[in-house]
């Protein structure tokens, strides 16, 4: 039987602020808001059903092919902030404001990140299921991890070979100075060698899996979306920022764009605008804590206290060392090696990361040798919780972002342990030949009080915010969506992105977010 012809997009423009709208003839089956790591996956998978019309809305620009990408977006050796929302966190507990890079282009953060392709621990996903979310245990999400990837190194029960996302590991011969030596120093200190960081139970040191090929970042735009662009039932609209969701009663019937207050009607809306963007849209739509919305003059559609709460992020800190000056300033991969470890024997899986960053040329005022190397550390299972709130109902106003770093007493001791491990590695041969002298925070910051102060003042985000629209049952006071991403208290509205993660994985969150989108797409389909 031939597929039904896709329905065309009908657009209307309405002024003013309102919670309901006239009954339109619905001409779009599904709108996906946000073309990032999750949104591109959703648009590609949902449009596989040719009888379903899908519109993908993105606030930033669209570069339809690899040849059209700006150079810094094309190169996958390091993250780039050139297409960014410009968000900055609120200061807290001795921590200054921190830039919170969030990509603003088709591909989202998958188009600007450092391409770490990690899953985390099976315990991360078993925890999601244990929190009342059926379908999210590791055994249940493993098929979707396999579905998303094409792993060039491993063909076994844990990995996929036919997925859109290519996963690669640098060969030993291609490791740049300092990376192989980091791995050898880990072995010298007794850490286990790991061939596959994505194998269940893998803890130790090994070469990093990445989703870049020949130096080109393989975003969800270049992988998932590229294969769907020619479908007649998929419309991609760049430069289309969404203000809020429009309702008829409690049924979502469309979205209002910022530009021109254009309204796009639809049968179902899926927010995939990320851990800052999705809660902000819900809040402007009147879905969130009434105590936050009423002072801003926003009509409360559904009093959901969890919207914007439960923000989790990986805090990151860099130790910097004088290093031999590189012979040339050629661009090289930033990171090719990784150490994962436990902060204590009571930890299930791993909760700390330590990784070296490539040696770079610098001026002698920064490093007396003219070269500098960094070792980054992060607490991967933080217990601290932050929040996202609106400054105003104006969509042009950046949200108030409070990451809550180190508000839980358990997190700083674990960060101190990670710093101690990094320092020990830097003193161990053969890495000691490259990490010549600690420049920052400096060897004089040995006492815990001084080192804590240095960590707080030098802290950075690892760019992995999650949890602000957490999934859980309707009986859970802080749950925003159910286990399939449907927003509690309304109809025809879902959230599918990192914001629905109830807890943060012990991994860089790009691959877990892609998995999450694959999982939810199977239900939405």
H runs (alpha helix) in 102-232:
122-130, 138-148, 179-188
Question: 371 CB contacts (<8 Å, ≥6 apart)?
Answer: 322, 323, 324, 325, 326, 359, 360, 361, 362
314, 464, 476, 488: which is the annotated catalytic residue? Answer: 464
Which residue's entry shows tokens 């000691």?
432
Instruction: Compute how many other C-beta atoms are within 10 angstroms of the C-beta atom of residue 86.
Output: 11
Taking the C-alpha atoms of residue 501 and residue 274, their distance in angstroms, rounded to an integer, is 11
Q: Which two tokens stand for residue 477?
A: 């006071």
Contacts with 80 (C-beta within 8 Å, 6 or more apart), sequence order: 72, 73, 112
> Which element (helix H / strand E) includes 356?
strand 352-361
Instruction: Give the pair of three-digit tokens for residue 522.
Output: 């199977």
Site of tokens 């040798």:
369
Distant-in-sequence, close-in-space partners of 414: CB < 8 Å, separation ≥ 6 = 343, 351, 352, 379
What is the distance between the alpha carbons of residues 339 and 284, in angstroms, rounded to a whole number? 42
In 58-201, DSSP assigns E strands to: 149-151, 165-169
| β-bridge mates for residue 400, sequence order | 389
Query: How far lies 357's CA from each of 143, 393, 497, in Å?
Result: 32, 41, 29
Q: Are residues 510 and 28 in contact, defined by beta-carbon separation less than 8 angstroms? A: no
Q: Match 């009986």 to its residue by tokens.
A: 475
Residue 165 dihedral angles phi and psi, to the nearest 5°: -95, 115
Q: Are 311 and 478 in contact (CB under 8 A)?
A: no
Q: What is the dihedral of CA 17, 23, 28, 32, to 10 degrees?
A: 30
Q: Is 464 a catalytic residue?
A: yes
Q: Which residues are catalytic, by number?
A: 464
């Amino acid at each position: 039987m031939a597929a039904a012809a896709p329905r065309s997009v009908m657009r209307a423009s309405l002024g003013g602020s309102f919670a309901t709208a006239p009954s339109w003839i619905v001409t779009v089956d599904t709108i996906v808001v946000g073309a990032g790591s999750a949104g591109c996956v959703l648009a590609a998978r949902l449009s596989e059903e040719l009888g379903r019309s899908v519109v993908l809305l993105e606030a930033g620009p669209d570069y339809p092919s690899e040849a059209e990408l700006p150079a810094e977006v094309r190169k996958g050796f390091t993250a780039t902030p050139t297409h960014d929302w410009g968000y900055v966190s609120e200061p807290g507990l001795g921590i200054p404001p921190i830039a919170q890079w969030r990509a603003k282009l088709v591909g989202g953060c998958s188009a600007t990140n450092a391409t770490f392709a990690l899953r985390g621990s099976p315990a991360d996903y078993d925890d999601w299921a244990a929190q009342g979310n059926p379908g999210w245990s590791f055994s249940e999400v493993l098929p979707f991890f396999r579905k998303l990837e094409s792993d060039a190194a491993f063909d076994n029960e844990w990995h996929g070979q036919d997925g859109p996302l290519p996963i690669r590991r640098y060969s030993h011969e291609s490791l740049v100075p300092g990376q192989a030596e980091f791995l050898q120093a880990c072995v010298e200190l007794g850490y286990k060698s790991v061939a596959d960081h994505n194998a269940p139970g893998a803890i130790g040191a090994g070469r990093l899996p990445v989703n870049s090929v020949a130096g080109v970042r393989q975003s969800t735009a270049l992988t998932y979306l590229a294969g769907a662009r020619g479908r007649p039932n998929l419309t991609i609209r760049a430069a289309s920022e969404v203000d809020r969701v429009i309702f008829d009663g409690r049924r979502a019937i469309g979205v209002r764009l910022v530009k021109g207050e254009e309204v796009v009607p639809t049968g179902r809306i899926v927010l995939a605008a990320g851990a800052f963007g999705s809660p902000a849209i819900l809040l402007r739509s009147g879905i969130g804590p009434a105590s936050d919305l009423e002072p801003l003059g926003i009509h409360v559609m559904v009093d959901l206290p969890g919207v914007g709460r439960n923000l989790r992020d990986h805090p990151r800190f860099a130790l910097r060392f004088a290093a031999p000056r590189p012979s040339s300033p050629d661009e090289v991969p930033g990171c090719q090696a990784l150490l994962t470890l436990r902060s204590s024997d009571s930890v299930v899986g791993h909760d700390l990361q330590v990784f070296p960053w490539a040696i770079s040329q610098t001026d002698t005022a920064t490093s007396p040798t003219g070269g500098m190397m960094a070792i980054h550390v992060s607490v991967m299972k933080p217990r601290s919780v932050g929040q996202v709130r609106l400054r105003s109902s104006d969509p042009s106003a950046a949200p108030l972002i409070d990451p809550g770093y180190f508000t839980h007493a358990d997190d700083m001791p674990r960060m101190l342990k990670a710093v101690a491990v990094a320092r020990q590695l830097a003193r161990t041969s053969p890495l000691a030949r490259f990490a010549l002298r600690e420049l920052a925070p400096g060897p004089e910051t040995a006492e815990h009080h001084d080192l804590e102060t240095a960590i707080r003042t030098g802290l950075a985000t690892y760019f992995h915010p999650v949890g602000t629209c957490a999934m859980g049952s309707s009986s859970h006071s802080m749950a925003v969506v159910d286990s399939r991403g449907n927003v509690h208290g309304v109809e025809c509205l879902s959230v599918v992105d990192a914001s629905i993660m109830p807890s943060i994985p012990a991994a860089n969150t790009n691959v877990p977010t892609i998995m999450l989108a694959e999982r939810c797409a199977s239900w939405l389909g």
